[in-house]
């Protein structure tokens, strides 16, 4: 990924973090707010590979950790997003198939609340969200299925500079 495209990807992730904290919680959507940052990281990881996915996931997670209200241990989101970027990038490196790549995003959306709860608990959070995880799983999977066909091709175009590449 060229430096210009990396800067554009970072700008997109910052916009996704702001949208996730400032706008999405106020929308009258059923269930939890969509995890727009995870889907954006997934799209970039699918297009750019596991190394870039890990780095962009870490930076996006760190931005989520530092965004107000930062009432959780710093590093929980960074760990979760970097792990998601790495695993999704590996899936893209291994398969190069559209359906498997979209399935990886959906699985990451399902595993993300669990990984965050475990990471926050490991980092000493007094209010680990283990009791809320089952309700989050269904909502995150549904929203990931809805957002992935729109966000992932846009992130592939941003990262690769063309509409075709590793993704359909």
Sign of CA dihedral 144, 65, 9, 16: positive
Q: In 3D, which of 142, 114, 118, 125 has the Cα closest to residue 31?
A: 142
Whether the predicted pLDDT of 167 surpasses 60: no
> pTM of the predicted model, to two decimals?
0.80
DSSP state of 96: -
Say how many CA atoms lie within 13 Å of 125 toward its Cβ: 20
Give residue-wise pLDDT tens across range 77-122.
888 899 889 988 888 767 665 677 777 777 787 777 777 777 777 7
Q: How far is CA 116 from the centre of its chain?
A: 12
pLDDT, tens digit (0-9, with 9 covering 90-100), for 126-135: 555 556 667 6
Residue 163 has pLDDT above 60, yes or no: no
Full set of structural domains in the chain with CATH: 3-160 (1.10.1760)
The pLDDT tens digits of the residues spanning 31-76 come to 777 888 888 888 888 888 888 889 999 999 999 888 887 777 788 8
13 Cβ contact list (under 8 Å, min separation 6): 37, 40, 41, 44, 56, 59, 60, 63
Owner of token pair 């699985």 = 107
Q: Output the pLDDT for position 63.
A: 92
pLDDT, position 2: 75
d(CA 41, CA 86): 10
């Amino acid at each position: 990924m060229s430096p210009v495209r990396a800067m554009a990807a970072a700008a997109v992730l910052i916009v996704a973090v702001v949208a996730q904290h400032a706008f999405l919680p106020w929308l009258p959507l059923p269930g939890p707010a969509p995890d727009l940052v995870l889907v954006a990281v997934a799209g970039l990881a699918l297009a750019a590979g596991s190394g870039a996915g890990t780095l962009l996931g870490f930076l996006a997670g760190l931005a989520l950790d530092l965004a107000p209200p930062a009432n959780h241990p710093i590093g929980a989101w960074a760990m979760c997003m970097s792990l998601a970027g790495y695993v999704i990038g590996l899936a893209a490196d291994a398969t190069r198939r559209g359906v498997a790549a979209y399935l990886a995003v959906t699985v990451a959306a399902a595993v993300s609340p669990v990984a965050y709860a475990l990471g926050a608990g490991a980092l000493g959070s007094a209010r680990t969200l283990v009791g809320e995880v089952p309700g989050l799983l269904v909502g995150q999977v549904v929203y990931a299925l809805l957002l992935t066909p729109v966000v992932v091709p846009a992130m592939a175009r941003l990262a690769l500079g063309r509409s075709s590449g590793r993704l359909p």
